[in-house]
Structure 1
Amino acid sequence: MNFRYPNRKPAQSEQQQSIQRTSLKMDEHNKSFANRGMTFEEDINYSNQYYLQTGSAVIHKKPTPVQIVSVDYPKRSAAVIKEAYFKQPSTTDYNGVYRGKYIDFEAKETRNKTSFPLTNFHEHQIEHMKQVTNQDGICFILVRFKASQEDFLLNATDLFDFWEHQKKGGRKSIPKTFFTDNAHSMQLGFNPRIDYLKIIDKLFFSG
């Protein structure tokens, strides 16, 4: 069982070559902007890779926690995991640092055409995001409506409002109209695929 962590990036003198290699690799996956064959997670991961290689930000996907149940030791020098299961994530999908600020966000897709179900989140994830915002961190969610292939960035504080309203007996989803009217639409590009940092600049650094 292997866990993949982000590799160290090339030195500054090789940075341009690294960016070019990323561009070529992404071009193999995307013949045109109209081709949205990549998953939402892949789009975000490629964007984060581009941000890292250009020195814009350091943001990584958190490894999925795994609970090991059974381990076999066929040799004294080696161990083989025989049984394990994925644990429920305790926080969010991505975190890192951007322009000296801690950044933390969750990415979700929905097949629902008219709303985004709040069942996509768990109480402990909401509490984690509240803790981040209380510490003056940058916290938000990225949402893709798969049916219409529309991507949005929603500030975590808006999510909190819907979450608390739900707990008081309110609706258990966020209407898509709320996203179109109040969230920030993200157009699919090339490098980066999803330029969510452009929106973060406007929201948190424009003053």
Structure 2
Amino acid sequence: MTFHYPNGQPYLNNEVPQSKKQATRPKATTLFGKRGMSLEEELNDSNQYYRSQSMAVVYKKPTPIQIVKVDYPARSQAVIKEAYFKQASTTDYNGIYQGHYLDFEAKETKNKTAFPFRNFHQHQIEHFRACLQQGGICFVIMKFVPLQRLFLLPASELITRWDAQADGARKSIPLEIVIKQGYEINYQLNPTIPYLSAVDQLIAYQVKRSN
């Protein structure tokens, strides 16, 4: 079956089967995460750990697919021959943690000094805005790849900076702002990305501000 991205380019699946991934992972874990894993894989690994420990129930949202070609070799069978990935309409992850609804994005950049807004889309900003209005805990997990540094940035800060673009503000968030307004997350053994500790700080801050 052939998959295509929204721009028409074919999707090439370069993923290693899960059984092989587990077999080739290094036994030693470093403070820089698991070698060869993307931020998404690290988060999926961490969420699986959180679920196994009954700490939180968080999943990555599946990417919508539009089927364009189906073959029917038999009446009772249908084989998808061609499909396209639709552009996701919301964010990457959502779930429940201690009675709180979590909704967040995971983004990486190779920039050392700022996080470009081109990594985000307007529909994601509007989704964050709507979730915040309903009392959700919304944020972005940002990774500065060259620095191997991770941060949780509240969605409210992202929205403020995003909206300021209309008044001529810069089209990125400086690292010093991310450090000041966000919460740094340090890699560890299990979970790989212990982001719930940063979520606890964000919740405590929001409760304090509302009182």
TM range (shorter): 0.7 to 0.9
1:116 is matched with 115
1:164 is matched with 163
1:198 is matched with 197
Could you tell me how far 1:74 is from its partner in structure 2? 1.2
Q: In structure 1, the residue corresponding to 2:58 is in which secondary structure?
A: strand
Please tell me the residue identity of whatever aligns with 2:67: I
Greater RCO, 1 or 2 (C-alpha within 8 Å, sep 6+): 2
Please tell me the residue identity of whatever aligns with 2:193: I
- TM normalised by structure 2 equals 0.82
User: Aligned residue pairs: how many?
Assistant: 184
Change (3 A) 1:72 1:43: same
Output the CA distance in 2 between the equivalents of 1:169 and 1:156.
20
1:153 is matched with 152
Could you tell me whether the CA contact under 8 Å between 2:144 and 2:150 is conserved in 1? yes
2:105 pairs with 1:95: no
2:173 pairs with 1:174: yes
1:33 is matched with 30
Could you tell me how far 1:181 is from its partner in structure 2? 2.3
Change (3 A) 1:196 1:27: farther
Output the CA distance in 2 between the equivalents of 1:121 and 1:81.
31
2:127 is matched with 128
Output the CA distance in 1 between the equivalents of 2:23 and 2:204.
29
Q: How does 1:17-32 map to 2 (within 5 A)?
A: 28-32=25-29
1:107 is matched with 106
- TM normalised by structure 1 equals 0.83
Q: In structure 2, the residue corresponding to 1:201 is in which secondary structure?
A: helix
2:55 pairs with 1:56: yes
Please tell me the residue identity of whatever aligns with 1:146: V
Change (3 A) 1:167 1:200: same
Please tell me the residue identity of whatever aligns with 1:32: T
Change (3 A) 1:97 1:68: same
Q: In structure 2, the residue corresponding to 1:147 is in which secondary structure?
A: helix
Could you tell me how far 1:92 is from its partner in structure 2? 0.3
Change (3 A) 1:200 1:168: same
Root-mean-square deviation (CA), in Å? 1.8
Could you tell me whether the CA contact under 8 Å between 2:154 and 2:202 is conserved in 1? no
Q: Which runs of 5+ in 1 are unaligned?
A: 2-24
Could you tell me how far 1:189 is from its partner in structure 2? 0.4
Could you tell me how far 1:27 is from its partner in structure 2? 10
Output the CA distance in 1 between the equivalents of 2:162 and 2:23.
37
Change (3 A) 1:35 1:146: closer
Q: How does 1:8-19 map to 2 (within 5 A)?
A: none
Q: In structure 2, the residue corresponding to 1:45 is in which secondary structure?
A: helix
Change (3 A) 1:154 1:132: same
Please tell me the residue identity of whatever aligns with 2:64: P
- Runs of 4+ in structure 1 over 6 Å off: none
Output the CA distance in 2 between the equivalents of 1:46 and 1:129.
24
Could you tell me how far 1:45 is from its partner in structure 2? 0.7
Q: Which runs of 5+ in 2 are unaligned?
A: 2-21
Could you tell me how far 1:203 is from its partner in structure 2? 1.9
2:62 pairs with 1:80: no
Please tell me the residue identity of whatever aligns with 1:143: M
